[in-house]
Amino acid sequence: MGEHDEARRAFLLKSAVGVGAMAGTALPGEALARARGRHGGEAKAVESAPAKTTSAHGGTENRGLFLNEDEFATVAAFAERLMPGAPGKAGAKEAGVANYIDQALAGAYSDQQEFYRHGLKALDAQSNELHGDAFLYLKPEQQDAVVTALEAGKAPAFSWPAAQAFFNTLRTHTMEGMFSDPVYGGNRDFAGWKLVGFPGAQRLYTQADMLSTEPFKRAAIGLQSVEKTSNRRG
């Protein structure tokens, strides 16, 4: 991983810690509540029936709820350039960020569906203009050049949404997908929480935990685990 990738990872990790990394546990919760109210408890499939897999720590992966296959892969590639993986460090793809975004667009963020559809088309147009191919098929350094152009607002293929607006939205949703509770479709196997040392929804902190200045050592606990425990007790 190059210096550019390291700098980008460091920026996003610092940003995540700066907001407590755990705005991610509250914000998607609010979003999920809106989704349930809109869809009667279930996110509606917009295109074909989704393929489902389940993470070891909760959070069903419902690929294809809104994004088609190419769109899903493009979002995954874009998010990976924002939060690239490294040896021993999960990136956006490993954390399932695209799955989080896909589920959100099918539910809580359904008002942004056209924003994404138009933005992804403009992204490919800009990629073709600069490098002769769709974003998904560019080399990582070429993808970085496209992403940098969007961030700087220097992407003439974009009209609506504006290039910077699309970049900022993808960056925000990438952070949500990295650091929110796995129950919302991202942060697969607590990949994002492991990066920042966040313990999740622990049921109990000991006095030693509260006084310690060392990183928290116990395994992270997600909301789904807490709900299962509560149900068993009930």
Instruction: Count CA atoms within 13 Å of residue 15 on its CB side.
Output: 16
Q: What is the pLDDT of residues 205-226, one digit of tens each?
A: 667 766 767 766 666 666 555 4
pLDDT digits (tens, 9 = 90+) for 28-49: 444 444 433 433 333 333 333 3
Check whether the bond before 199 is cis (ω within 30° of 0).
no
Name the region of 145 (left: φ>0; alpha: ψ -120 to 50; beta: rest). alpha
**Distance between CA 199 and CA 221 in Å, rounded?**
7
How many other CB atoms sit within 10 Å of the CB of residue 47? 13
- pLDDT for position 37: 40
**What per-residue confidence (pLDDT) applies to 146?**
97
Q: Write out pLDDT tens, residues 43-92.
A: 333 333 344 444 444 444 556 799 999 999 999 999 999 999 888 888 99
Within 10 angstroms of residue 228's Cβ, the number of other Cβ atoms is 12
The answer to whether 121 and 49 are in contact (CB under 8 A) is: no
**pLDDT for 82-129, tens place per residue?**
999 888 888 999 999 999 999 999 999 999 999 999 999 999 999 999
Return the structure tokens found at 119: 């933005």
What average pLDDT does the structure give for the chain? Answer: 76
Based on C-alpha coordinates, what's the Rg of the chain?
A: 18
Alpha carbon 158 to chain centroid distance? Answer: 23
